[in-house]
Every structure is written in C-alpha cells, then in structure tokens.
Amino acid sequence: MATKIQTVTVPARGEGKYFTINALTFAMNATSITFYWQILTETFETVEGSETPISKPGNSILDGNLIMKEDVIATWGTDDSVVIDWALSELGLTAE
C-alpha cells in the first residue's frame, strides 16, 4: 500500500508523491527489523466513464533501508500506521 506524501524533489530524478515501506526481515522476538522503503512519482489513470483522472503511484525515484529498533517494535503491535509514521519521521517526510 502506498501513502501519499507532500511533494519531495529528487534532483535529476523528479518529484515524489508516494511512499511505500516493506519489512525485509521479521524474526520472532526480533530486536530489530529491516525495512525497504521507496519514494515514487505520481501518475494518473483515467477510469472508463469518468473524466476525472485518478492519482496513483508511478516509478521509484529514491529508495533505501531503515532499521527499526526494539523500543519502536514494542509500540507497533498490529497497527501498521506506526511503521509508516515512524519511517516518514526518520526520513523527514510528511504524509499528505
């Protein structure tokens, strides 16, 4: 699932409008978890029967890894918004 973010300009690559994050490692009783994140461009799709284009994620223009430590893991539980909010904060990004 992609999160819409405030526009981020990546020199020589374009403007990012979406953010995704996925866990790469997830051991039981983990003391850290590695996540892969991406900033994606915005593209538009026109749905048949509608004149209004729909915004959706496009191409990746920036990516990397983040490591979540045990203290943040403890607050995660089953609410994935904790991970998204944490990652956006770590990267200095803001959800739209």
Element (H, E) at 10: strand 3-10
With the CA atoms of 96, 46, 21 and 41 taken in that order, what torsion angle do they form, in degrees rounded to the nearest 10? -70
Residue with the two structure tokens 């593209």: 43
- β 14-23/3-10 pair status: antiparallel
pLDDT tens-digit map of 7-64: 999 999 999 999 999 999 778 888 999 999 999 999 999 988 888 899 999 999 999 9
- Give CA–CA dist 42/61, Å, rounded: 11
